[in-house]
Amino acid sequence: MPIKVLIVDDSFVMRKLLSDILSSDGIEVAGIAKSGSEAIKKISQIKPDVITLDLVMPGWDGLTTLKHIMEEYPTPVIILSAHSREGADITIKCLEAGAVSFILKPSGELSLDIEKVAPELLKAVRSASTVDMAKISALFAPPGRPVKYKAVETGRIIVIGASTGGPQTLVAILSSLPPHFSPPIIIVQHMPSIEFTQSLAAHLKRVCKLMVKVAEDNEIIARKKIYLVPGGYSMALQATDQRNKAKVVMRLVKDSPDALTPSINATMRSIAEIYNGNAIGVVLTGMGSDGAEGMEAIKNSGGKTLVQDESSLIFGMPQAVIDRGCADSVLPAGKIAEGIVELVSSVY
């Protein structure tokens, strides 16, 4: 059975271009809608497997439409977002409201060159069609009490890699960490540009009791901080003095436009080299295998590794780590914060 897609976009040109891309790969365009209210009617009729949703439309905008979809007909939704700070802010809100993922339009709202992101769009649609909507609902359960934690200065560092479904899962994890949690945390979340990382950091600040910021080049890593590697860059750590691990700086390198960015493997490998057995690696939901090599490096250096179980929206990245035999623990999203705290507090 072909995947059935509903395209929601007020532009005739964009609907036609998107239809051509999807149809060329054997995906069925089961319907089109010019507005959010029309989309709701079409969903009940055609029962699509996946919906592509424009953000800027007359009447209901994309976020309002998404909220109606999640309330009335929960369906995997892929957001089509413009490359701007405003577009990034709304996109993160859409992920918070239940969207599976997003595709960045190459040239703004009317992207006649949408073909440039055709491979990314096709991959996202096929991946979204496998998502169990119950997993998305589970991510938005109210956070529980913060995990109990007795501060122990063990020199640990945590690095978390995530892709599709990562922003929602990060909220569930970080909101459960205690306010006095001291080891630094580095988050490598696949994002297309720094604007999206900045919007994600602002969102995480609202739900997390720790300081959250976007990492800067040559910045020294400090305790009690959470750093997000900016989209469009990859990051490696460098010890300015091998005998003094307090002097570790973050080096950012601009990625090529077609790279999967930021690279989870690159950051994890550098952390394994500097921190050895004090590194704790975590891989969350996402397509592909980025992070598998990095987790292997952490494990081989004496560190510990955790991966999200099949509560993942997309189990590809965690599965790749498990297949390499590099996962010390496999935990649901709701237990990962507890797993991290236990490892930080233990001697291994």
User: Which residues form the catalytic set?
Assistant: 163, 190, 290
- Other CB atoms within 10 Å distance of the CB of residue 239: 16
Q: How far is the C-alpha of 116 from the C-alpha of 4, rounded, in Å?
A: 22
Q: How far is the C-alpha of 16 from the C-alpha of 22, rounded, in Å?
A: 10
Contact present, 46 and 23 (Cβ < 8 Å): no
Q: What ranges make up the beta strands (E) of 22-148?
A: 28-33, 50-54, 77-81, 101-104
Strands 50-54 and 219-220: unpaired
248 phi/psi in degrees, rounded to 5: -115, 125
Amino acid code (one letter) for 122: L
Q: How far is the C-alpha of 278 from the C-alpha of 156, rounded, in Å?
A: 5
Q: Which two tokens stand for residue 56?
A: 């800027």
- For 152, which DSSP code? -
Q: How far is the C-alpha of 307 from the C-alpha of 319, rounded, in Å?
A: 8
